[in-house]
Chains A and B, each alone.
Chain A
Amino acid sequence: MFSFIKRHQIILASAVLGLISLHLASTTRKGTGGEVIVRAVLSATAAPFQKALLAAEGKVAGVWSGYVYFVGLKKENAELGKTVQSLVEENLRLREEASLNARLKELLRFKDDFPPRTLAARIIGMSDFGLSGGWTRTIVLDAGSGDGVGVDMPVVSHRGVVGRIIAVTSRTSTALLITDPRSAVDVIDQRTRIKGLAEGNGEELVLKYIRRLDDVAVGDGLVTTGLSPVFPRGLSVGTVTKVENGEDNFFKHIEVGPASDIKKLEEVLVITDGNTAGADKTEGGQPTVPDGRVRKGKPQTRGKERP
């Protein structure tokens, strides 16, 4: 018996760990189970590295487009080259700042039109978006529980819903994007007011439970219903891109392009209001006060309270 175990110990260990993996996969589907300690340790280790990489990436991009372009200039042009280089770098920096300024302005404009309390956060990491064959669609934000971020808080951009927070450490948080297969958002067709469930499939969204006789057409905009406890009402989720009759002869197969192109986002807003669903105003009919905090990046701005 012991000799058998000893001879096949690797196979047996693999079988045991394989079964444990399957058990973990079936019990921690939401990814918020017993991995809290590991996540906290990894976050503490990786977050500074990710931030440093992000900063370095920006500098390398600047050097690449500024310095490398001038490699090969003759010696007599060195001084002129240096001047041009510094001007180009300055120009790049200013352009980057102008771009950041424009993005922050858009976010602030969105905040002004959007009553719940929000917190701006920077994206410091992303899952691989399928380039390594994975289906996970998550982003890592540089705001954590210390900033008031909590699990299940909605993450939005000025274009619409981005996802929701699924894990939080003191300094960072992980958001599940709406295109992740684990994500499902209650939505309503803006044109026909037909309700459905927008589920992620890794690449985009699939609108489910729409009957064949329901009127949903390509180009229709979908917004959140506010029925779920996570997302406030009226946030843009996406636009219908394809409508077909489903294979089950009952429901339609509808594909939806997400409103926010996460690959192009650098900052997002986390709605930190505890209960935001459908709550546009406070009890007295006055709008809630947005926090107005914009973290990191330049310029740092602090929003003002609404009257």
Chain B
Amino acid sequence: MALNPSYEAIGKGFVQQYYAMFDDPAQRPNLINMYNTESSFMTFEGQQIQGAIKIMEKLNSLTFQKINRIITAIDSQPMFDGGVLINVLGRLQADDDPPHAFSQTFVLKPLANSFFCGHDIFRLGIHNTM
């Protein structure tokens, strides 16, 4: 496989689609289609999770309904297996809570003419000291 020259557009497109689904409680269950049943990994606030079903259990356990999100930056790189590495920096607001900064990293793996999300790492930008 070769480097995909459209990595930037793929990164931006994926991030838009992913958050449109994530942030709408009615569409959130469809996120399961983004992940592989066995080989997808998620690290959510340090918690290691593997496989689409476990990943969805985690996402469904989150107690908010609506999320408002502001994306500050999407940085992408092509990978030698044809995949795309994506890093997102942004802020989110769950329901009526105050906004929090977050960063999220995805690795898209090529699958036929499309991609699936092979790796997903999420952290809020919250620190232990002032």
On whether the two chains bind one another, the answer is no
List B residues at the A interface (Cβ < 8 Å).
Answer: none
